[in-house]
Chain A
Amino acid sequence: MSVPAHLNSSYRTSGPFLVTDVGQIIAEFRNEVLNLNVPAWTEPEPNEFRSPADAAGRFFTVCFSVVSATQLRMEVRDGRNFSMCYRQVQILAAGSIVEIFSGQFHMHMNVFMTPDTSNQEFLNAGILDESPMPLNYTPFHVYGHGSRQWTSGSIENNYFNYAYMGHNSGYLTRDRILDAEWAPYYCDGSPKFSPCMMWHYEPSPGIETFAGRMYQHFIGPKNANNQIVEIPIAPGVTGKFKQVISPGSNNYAFYVRVG
């Protein structure tokens, strides 16, 4: 039994590091995805980062823009150059701790508002593993999300299990992570980790279908942030995953691959 497709892609971790200007985040992200990721991303326009295409030609693009020293915007586009979402994160004027997780098919950014830990923030985006369907089964395979509304900067729908995705006439955010409700433990009390499977939603006529799995992510029990756990990913093979900021649930959290 081999490693499942959604865990068989590149991954890297950067940080945690202190940021006092969001321009530092863009610079660090650029270094990560252009210079350290294998395969490397590209930067077709300044501050516009495009993931490497997979075997089916799928990719996603994240475009950063600086609102102020403490406000960072991110637009996510799919391979057709359609926008999936516009989101924002903010850092504290005194500085915030940031971590960046990236790979050929995913990115996730933690922003720790220390010492005020009640308002942690995140940005994420990626493409989905659509198996058992073919990789190019549908154009709706790019997701993106973040803690804040694009223009006002207000906290909005910052639930970890929400994400923006496209549909036949636009894009929208909603609860998309399957199973992010119950049963994060086995009967002996040990944690249960599951692939992050996502819903697709077609608002007219309101049909929920299966979209795919997030690359290099699990969902698992939520406890103290930042713990790193070793999870079996195939017989005799384990991977290390770090719990990341996952607001909106008391039971579940995202875990992103770090080793």
Chain B
Amino acid sequence: MPKPSFLDGPFGYHAESGIYDVTDVITRIGVLLIAAGWTDITSDPNKPAYRCPPVGGSLGKKFDVEFQRYSAAAINLQVYDTLGRASGVRSMLISTTGVGSAMHYFYGPKHIVVACQTTDEVLFAAMLDPYPQAEDANIYGGQVMNGSRAVNGGTASYSPPTYIGMRAANDPSAIFSLSTNFVLWASRPLRTIKMDYMFWPYEFGYMTWWGGRFPHALICVPTTDLPRFMSFQAPLGDGTNGTFKPIIGGSSWQVALRVS
């Protein structure tokens, strides 16, 4: 059997430490996204912006991400959908003292995830994998984002992975919102009867509507079993294993991203 499509396709991972200013983070994001095929669409030099590579289909689906330095410690993210409609602005903090911050970047043509190991905060945006639907099936939905904090390094609430920012329908009139209701199946079993680990896609939808899967991500056991950023192997469905790192989550479950 081949890999499921949300684990197939290109992806990348980069880590670096000693980061004291999010300017370096934004620069790094730009380099990585361009390498992954995104297009630089920056119009305001203070807000570097990138558009994802074209998806299949003929509907002209678009997904843009825009980053902004608020302070040395705070970075903002806003995303734009096919119609150019903006999401809310979310942010994360890095540490600018001591030895600086250890940063992890997970990226590909459909996702960018930035995680700060030092502050345990994240920022991410992704186009969901709608398989078996067509790539452009979710043209007005199926795009997710969030960060650990409100805009400008504000309140640490509505945070991922339980809260997700998404439009709650595949509909031009759908409103962007942050909700726990968008995360499906978060209570799936993470152990077999013999207590071996199990892994599940990080899936989204709303009410009766299924949206898709976060590319190159898995739900895994909580931090009590797999400490944050500890690499682990998970089956990819084709008889091979991939290496993942848990990046965010709590006492019930975490989200892990593919690194190799």
Residues of A within 8 A of B (CB): 1-2, 132-133, 137-138, 140, 178-179, 182-188, 190, 192, 199-200, 202, 207-211, 221, 232, 251
Contact = CB atoms under 8 A, between A and B. Distances in A.
B193 A137 contact: yes
A184 B133 CA distance: 14
A155 to B, nearest CB: 27
Contacts of A1: 1-2
9 cross-chain pairs, A with B, having the tightest CB-CB distances, nearest first: A187-B170, A183-B210, A183-B205, A210-B189, A138-B193, A209-B191, A209-B193, A209-B189, A200-B193
A179 B185 contact: yes
B175 to A, nearest CB: 16
Contact of B132 (A2, A202, A210, A232): A232
B235 A209 contact: no
Interface string B102-145: 00000000000000000000000000001011000110011000
B198 interface: yes
Interface in B175-211: 184-185, 188-189, 191-196, 198, 205-211
19 contacts: A132-B235, A133-B194, A179-B185, A182-B207, A183-B184, A183-B206, A183-B209, A184-B208, A185-B209, A186-B133, A186-B209, A187-B209, A187-B211, A188-B137, A199-B189, A207-B191, A211-B193, A221-B208, A232-B132
A186 B192 contact: no
Contact of B130 (A2, A179, A187): A187
Given A2-B1, A210-B198, A211-B193, A178 B188 contact: yes
A192 B189 contact: no
Contacts of B133: 186-188, 190
A179 B187 CA distance: 9
Contact of B207 (A133, A183, A209): A183
Nearest to A192: B210
Contacts of A190: 133
Given A187-B142, A188-B137, A209-B189, A182 B130 contact: no
Nearest to B134: A188
A2 B239 CA distance: 14
Interface of B: 1-2, 130, 132-133, 137-138, 141-142, 169-170, 184-185, 188-189, 191-196, 198, 205-211, 235
A2 B205 CA distance: 28
A239 to B, nearest CB: 15
Contacts of B210: 183-187, 192
Nearest to A188: B137
A210 B192 contact: yes
Nearest to A1: B1
Contacts of A192: 210
Given A1-B2, A133-B196, A187-B211, 17 more contacts: A1-B1, A138-B193, A140-B193, A179-B185, A182-B184, A182-B208, A183-B205, A183-B210, A185-B208, A185-B210, A187-B130, A187-B209, A188-B137, A200-B189, A209-B193, A210-B188, A251-B208
A231 B189 CA distance: 26
A241 B132 CA distance: 19
Contacts of A210: 188-189, 191-193, 198
Nearest to A200: B193
A237 to B, nearest CB: 13
Contact of A138 (B138, B194, B198, B207): B194
Contacts of B138: 187
Given A1-B1, A183-B209, A187-B138, A137 B184 contact: no
B33 to A, nearest CB: 26
A137 B191 CA distance: 13
Nearest to B128: A187
A208 B195 CA distance: 10
Nearest to A139: B193
Contacts of B185: 178-179
A133 B137 CA distance: 33
A7 B198 CA distance: 21
Nearest to B208: A185
Contacts of A2: 1
A202 B170 CA distance: 40
B193 A182 contact: no
B113 to A, nearest CB: 23
B2 A182 contact: no
Nearest to B185: A179
A166 to B, nearest CB: 11
Contacts of B189: 178, 199-200, 208-210
Contacts of B137: 186-188
